[in-house]
Each structure stands twice: as C-alpha cells, then as structure tokens.
Structure 1
C-alpha cells in the first residue's frame, strides 16, 4: 500500500514540475517578446535612464520661454528638459568609459558621429574624462509650429571635469560654458541635433573666501558636539524626542556654553528628518544656544557623477534653515581628510570646494567651514572657507605647538578647535589606563591651553553612551569601547570629575 502511494506521489510531483517549468518558459518568452516590441532603447536596457533621474540632478532654470508663434507647452518643456539632461549624462558616461554607444539614443546620427570622433581621439591617447554638469540656464529661442524642433541657448553651464591619461589625473577643473542647442523630436523623445559652444561665457568661479565673516565672532564659540545619551548617531531617528532635547539643551546652557554642533546624516535624510532638525533648532533658539550644522555625515563617495545629487540634498537643508535664528554656521563635512586614501585627495578636495561655493550661493549670510581631523590639515582649502576648524585628540602638552604651526600656514583666518576629548574607558583594550581622574587632568590642561591661545572650542561630548553603532568606528571592540566613554556626564546623568573644569572655564569667559 505504501509503495503504491509513493508511486502516485512521485508521478504527481513529476507532472507538477513539468507543468511549472513549461509555465515559466512561456512567461519568459512572453515577457521577452513584449519587451522587444515595446521600443525599449539602449539607455533603459542599461538602467541609465533611471540612473539619470536618481543620481544626476543638476539645477535647471529657464530664463525665458517666449517664442514667436507656437507657445511652449508645460509637458513638452518637461520632456525637452528630461531628454536634454539625459543626453548630457550619457555623453559624460560615454567619455568616461570610451564607449560612444552609451549616448547613441540621445543624439541624431550626425551629432553622434562627432561625439564618436572625439571618443576615438581620446582612446588612441588613452585619455578618459569624468565629468558632470552642475547647473544650466537655458533660454528658448525657437519652437517650430509642428512641435518637432526646438532651439535654445544654454548659458553659464557649470561643468566639472577630471581628465585622466593612462589612469593618472592630469587636471581637474570647474568652468562655465555656453551652448546653442537644437533638438529634434524623433520616436517619441527629443534628440540633440546640434550643440555649438558659445564664446564669452560669464565666469562662475568660487569666491576667494577673504570677505569679512558675517554675523559671527568666532572667538565667542564655546560649546560641544551633541548627541543624546540613548540614541548616539541616531539623533533624527524614530526615537527623536523634543523633551530629551529640551532637557539636554537646558543642561548645556547651564554649563555656560553657547553652541552645539549637530551632525546631519546623508543617507535616509528626508522630510520627516528635516522637520525634526527644525524642531531641534527651535529648541536651541528657546535655550539661547547657537547651532553649527555639519552636513554629509557618513557620506564617502565623492564620485563626480554623484555631485549634483549631493548638491540637491544640501540645497534642501540650507534653503530650509538659512533664515533660522539659531543657525551659527555650516560645516560641510566631518573629517573628510580620512577619505583621502580610499577616494583620492584631489577628488575629495574638489567636491568640498564646489560644495563651499554652492552653499555660499544659497546662503551668503552664514559662514562656512570644514572639520579637518588634524591641525596640520587645516591649511587645506583655507582660502575658500570663512574660518578653519580642526580636531585634536593628542596630548595637551603638544597642543600649543600644533596651533602655532597652523597659524603660520593660515595667518589670516580665525581658528576653531571643533573636536577634542578624552575617554574614561578602562579595560582590556587600553590596559585599564582610563579613568575619570585622567579625563579631568586632560580637560584641566586643555582648557588652560585654550584660554592661553585664545581659541574657541567645542569638546566631545556631553554623555557616555550605552552603545556605539558599528557604522561609526566598525565592529572592533578596541575601537568601539573607548568611544562610549567620552562624556562629561556618565550613563545615568551624573557629572564626572572633568565636569568642573568645563563648566568653570565656560563661566569665566
């Protein structure tokens, strides 16, 4: 009986398997046939169209849409702008990978021939160009009565390019360009027919950073780098609490401090997080505290193709908060020099310089700085920022010499010690050498040095933390464990021995 039952089961399973396999084959054939008949272009096959819409986001401002004859329709304008930007993006991809076919579907045959000639020239000389456009200012000149041809001038196109030969960087530059563009409507989307460079384009180089710092006396800053006790590095997450923020900011103010530095994460920062940041700024204003906002926390790409997306992220925050009374300054990036080895020093510095330029365009009122990880890095891009910020976690005895060297290289910029501190962790990973007494000694010496050097400061940090996320310092215990004990308050909110040196110094100034 069991043997007969098993045979029936086997037959049933074989039949079901056969039917399932045939169904999958038919579905696959149908999907392929449907796709091949849908008119899918090469860009969609390579997912480049989607990539354009999500990563390539230059600023576009049409200065005029006046046209004799046919009026420009709103939907048509959106289509023209979309296909024009795709053409730029795929043109740069073609230059980068020396593959003219990547841009084939967004240029007419004659325009594609010219593009291919340039790429062939570069390939023979082993040249590749990584580039992107950051802003466009098109002005409509002609729109045909049949709605199939458009001519416009795109002035002041801000383009960044890095030119490589044999894998070595030759030069990297950001320059304005201008073009007269003709596009034709073919097969349902707009292709570039002609694109001619214009002469005499107005320059848009970054400012030299030598103007007086508006509404800020850097030497008055005395503050700390802030995270809540229970949600470090997750300040704007689901556990954000206005009550906790109010309690902490009241505590900070009672210490005699006047400034908090707050980190804005890059990934996952959306409208809900922006609302929480605005709430934090409101609380800071109520408590008579100023806020230094550090952008791009946990960002480390810097690839040129990603620049315009990072600009849109920063623009939303800067435009949304530039008029807030609690805002003190913009800090572009925390310790970007730590990415020099993995991402290339020239790439990181070029990205930073362009962000400084963009932020100053969006908000000319508030100063801009960069938080370097060591004093010796403070001279980098010093002519672009309004004041130089640096971090220091070495011995207090060596601090005056480090400051003196920085002042020699940057004699005309205000300085800010943006991070410093000492962990009270005592365990296997530091041979049980940490203690509250050692932290107190450190802060006593550092505060005396800061007073003597007349330097503003922001120490790390208010609380000891129960846990530190792996994304901060990785999973190695000898790195994570010390990071939990930098606070001047312990995990239950008790002041540590160092507290008296911080509060007394803050009150005296």
Structure 2
C-alpha cells in the first residue's frame, strides 16, 4: 500500500515537472517571438477597436493610372490603412496635445512641424477635436522598388471643433486638397511630406477663429467734414490717413465704414466712388487696421422687383474688394430691423437672406453679418450669419444681463457690439442731457463690462459733427443736436474726456 502511494506521488511529481518545463519553454518562446517581431502597433496605439468604431471615413480612389510600376491591391490597401492611421493619430495628438503615435506614422521631416504645432496649441491651451469625412485619393507615382508613393487627395472633407480654455470657439467644415509623399519603412508606409492647399471653409462659426483669430476693437468711422457723404466732393485721403493714425494710436484695430446705395450708383456702381472706397482700404492697410464694409446704407425698398438691381450693386462692390488685405467682413445692411414695420418683417428678412447668399457666392473667404438695431433682434438669421452684430444705446445697467442671455441663446457664434455710445449734448434743445464727463463715465463703465465678458466692440463715433443729414435722424432739432455729439473728439479737434476710454488697452 505504501509502495503504491509512492508510485502515485512519483507520477504526479514527474507530470508536474513536465508541465512546468513546458510552460517555461512556451513563455520563453513567446518572449523570443515578441522581441524579434515587435509589439503590434495597433495594440500599442489602442486603435484596433477605436478606429473601427470612430474612424471610418469614406475613401474613393481614382482609377489607377500612376507613373512608375503598377501597384497591387494588397499594397494599395496597406498604403490606405497606414495613411488613415496617420490621420487618426494626428487627430488624437491635436485633441490631447500629446504626440503619441506621431513617430510611427510620420518621418523625421514631417513630424517636426506636427510637434511644433502641438506645442504651440498646448502653450495657448487650444485643443482641436477633428475628423475627416471623405477622401478622394489619386496615386500619382509608385516607385519600381516599391518603397515610395506619391498621392494627391482631393476634396478631403474635414470637420473641426476648436476649443480654447475648454470653451468652444469654432465649429467648421473644410474641403481641402493634400499632396503627400510616403516612404515604406519597417513594413509601414510613413508620411514623409504633406502639403495642404485649396482650402474652402464651408461654414464660419466663430469670431476669433473664422476672423483669423482676430479680436475686434473698433470704431465706426466718418471724416468730421463729410459724415454720411464720405466719398463725395469732400473726399480727402490725407484727412482719412490722419484720422486712421489717431484710431490706430488709440489702441483700436478695426473701423466700420458705410457704402450708401443710391449715391454709389445703385445697380450701375459709380467707379469713381468705388475707387475712393478702395483708397480708404489702402490707407487702413497701411495703418494695419481691418475694415468692416457695411453695404446698402440709406436703402429701404426691399421689393422683390428691386432685388436684381441690388444684386448687381453688391456683386460689383464685393468683387472689387474681396481680395483686399484690409477687408475683415461684410455687414449686409445697417439696422434693417428699423424697416420691419414700414416694409414688412418677412420681406426684409427674405431680402437679407437672399443678399447673404449673393455676397457669399462672390466672396467665400470673408465673414458676413447684419448690424441689428438692438440686441433683441440679434438672433434673427443667426444660422446664416458668420457672426452676430447688434447695436446698443440703452442703459448699461442691463447690458451684462442681456448679453449673457444672448450668449446663452447663441453659444458658439461670435457676437460683436457693433455700435454703442452716448451723446454729450446738454444744450438748449436738451438742457438735462449728459455732459462730457458723463460721457466719459459711460465709456469707462462700458469698457469694464467688455473686459469682464471679453466682448468685441465698435463704438460710435470718432468725431462730433457740425451737420447731420435729415435722412439719419429726421428734422427734429433735439434729435439732430444730440446726434452731433457722440464723438470722442469735439468740433474744435480736441479730445474729450471719454477719449481715455476709447479702448480697453
């Protein structure tokens, strides 16, 4: 009995020894295989599941007619997979501001620019959440040794959401063309050279990015001697140059100017005045000021039969200025909501909608807005406009509350306070009006609010005027006299106390 037990124990020990040796050999074999083949890159990057679930853009190859040797389906599939992997790891890197995976899919030359971009975004606390939706690649060249490929990817549709300090500041869709060179290294196609060109932004949704990261600090501008008739017989380029130097020195970066419809020739644009408008933008560019051009000033018909004439007018002006470096944006119409009652709200909005389409069809590069008379009208056409602009001449005591409410209603698109101010007139026709010091207090409080809520602003206006046309505020003397005293510089050319608060620098 004892002998049998010993035999059983001996058998168990031998079997256990054999199993242990087998496990050790198996482990050593697996380790040896791992060290010789390297870890699977999809496992390292955790893309084997994520890519399937999150990244399957539509890819449509052009018919293969490349230079060099023909490429078989297996190598073409590998090239496509590695190319899409390169997009994916770049998108992850931009989202996290961490360069993990970049080295695996980009050569030394290509990755340096990516690393610099990531570091710049990280320093500014900017993150980009993006994906591509469509690719239309063409194989241009495949080398005889199968180590190099050249690809052009047309009409790549990219959707992007850009965040700064965890706040969404841009949501846009772009269509671009990419030209790339790939090298086969370690059995994987790595991007060696990548050039982006022919980008078309389909949707502009935020001020600071869609306006080239430009934060508007501006003023509505007319020369003191020719308000509301800037391009007429009193046009003086030296005066405009002097005024824009004052504006630039005051810490502002933008002017908003106006194009009167009728005096500019309506459908047949007066090219003499159009040239004066161009000269004004030239002076602004020299002073490094941006310009918002407001169309259709003093226009108020909106009838459908008039639309074709309006279109020819806008088409001529937009085409003439769209390539100017000083141009920042188009304001379709100044305070069109004032015409809702007399012309009908629906017809005015329909006209605006049509004109927005027209301007964008001629100039797809610059943002478009409408200068609403009040903050309550600001949400009108919010989905069509690239940024929201409203005017405000009410009490500053309720501005913050109203702005916060508007920002809640329109959380993504940029909002610009396009006109604001207070008259310093307290003469015969308005003896209890505000004086120069009251005006200064108003502008100081306004700038405090702007700084607190990071509000882009365009004040009204640089100068006090000696004459205001009846078309602006009517014939009533108390209205005309008040309108003459909104400026930061008085009729004698002296800066008023409010000039200290013309900007928030």
Superposed pair shares fold, TM > 0.5:
yes
Q: Are residues 1:496 and 2:504 paired?
A: no
Question: What is the rounded CA distance, in whole Å, between the counterparts of 2:384 and 2:202 in structure 1?
Answer: 6
Distance 2:402 2:430 in 1: 25
Higher Rg of the two aligned structures: 2
> Does the alignment pair 1:268 with 2:263?
yes
Q: Summarize the Cα distance change of 1:210–1:319 in structure 2 as closer, same or farther, 3 Å threshold.
A: closer
User: In the TM superposition, what whole-angstrom CA distance separates every residue of 1:214-261 from its partner, at most 9, and x where no partner exists?
Assistant: 751576100100000111101011110011011000111110110000
Is residue 223 of structure 1 aligned with residue 223 of structure 2? no
User: Cα offset for 1:434?
Assistant: 1.9
* Deviation (angstroms), 1:268: 2.1
Please give the TM-score of this superposition, normalised by the length of structure 2. 0.58
- Indicate the residue corresponding to 2:393 in structure 1: 393
Offset, 1:210: 5.6
> Could you report, residue by residue, the CA deviation over 1:262-285 in whole angstroms, capped at 9, with x for unpaired residues?
000000211111010001010000
Q: Judging changes above 3 Å, is the alpha-carbon distance between structure 1 residues 437 and 212 closer, same or farther for their aligned structure 2 residues? A: closer
What displacement does 1:212 show?
6.2
Give CA deviations for 1:417-439 in whole Å, capped at 9, x if unaligned.
Answer: 00000100012332332200100
Counterpart in the other structure of 1:31: none
* Deviations 1:344-370, CA, capped at 9 Å, x for gaps: 000000000111111111000000000
Q: Shift in Å at residue 409 of structure 1? A: 1.9
Counterpart for residue 379 of structure 1 = 379
Cα deviation, 1:2-58, whole Å, max 9, x if unaligned, reads xxxxxxxxxxxxxxxxxxxxxxxxxxxxxxxxxxxxxxxxxxxxxxxxxxxxxxxxx
Paired with 2:370 and 2:492, the residues of 1 have a C-alpha distance of 33
Q: Deviations over 1:353-402 (max 9, x none)?
A: 11111111100000000000111111000000000000001111111011
Q: Does 1:298 align with 2:298?
A: yes
Give the stretch that moved more between structures: 248-257 or 210-219: 210-219
Question: 1:414, 1:489 → 2: CA distance?
Answer: 30
Match in the other structure for 1:439: 439
Alpha-carbon offset, residue 412 of structure 1: 1.7
Shift of 1:320: 0.3
Bigger drift between 482-491 and 399-408 goes to 399-408
Report the counterpart of residue 368 of structure 2 in structure 1: 368
- Match of 1:263, SS? strand
Q: State whether residues 205 and 413 of structure 2, in contact with CA within 8 Å, keep that contact through their aligned partners in structure 1.
A: no
* Structure 2, gaps ≥5 residues long: 1-200, 265-269
Whether the aligned pair in 2 keeps the contact of 1:218 and 1:416 (CA below 8 Å) is: no
Preserved CA contact (<8 Å) 1:215 1:365: no
RMSD of the TM alignment (CA)? 1.6
How far does the alpha carbon of each residue in 1:183-225 deviate from its partner, in whole angstroms, 9 at most, with x for none?
Answer: xxxxxxxxxxxxxxxxxxxxxxxx9956566751576100100
**Within 2, Cα distance between the matches of 1:462 and 1:256?**
13
Kept in 2: contact 1:219–1:456 (CA 8 A)? no
Map of 1:395-414 to 2, 5 A cutoff? 395-414=395-414
SS of equivalent to 2:450: helix
Write out the 4+ residue segments of structure 1 that deviate beyond 4 Å after TM superposition.
Answer: 207-215
Counterpart in 1 of 2:466? 466
SS of 1:224 mapped into structure 2: strand
After TM superposition, list the pairs within 5 Å mapping 1:119-198 onto structure 2: none
Aligned residues: 299
Q: 2:218–2:458: 8 Å Cα contact kept in structure 1?
A: yes
Bigger RCO of structures 1 and 2 (CA < 8 A, at least 6 apart): 1
Contact kept, 8 Å, 1:208 with 1:384, in 2: the verdict is no
What SS does the corresponding residue of 1:429 show, helix, strand or coil? coil
Q: Distance in 2 between matches of 1:412 and 1:359?
A: 23
Q: Partner residue of 1:96?
A: none
| Conservation of the 8 A alpha-carbon contact between 1:209 and 1:384 | no
Distance 1:406 1:490 in 2: 34
- 3-state DSSP class of the match of 2:422? coil
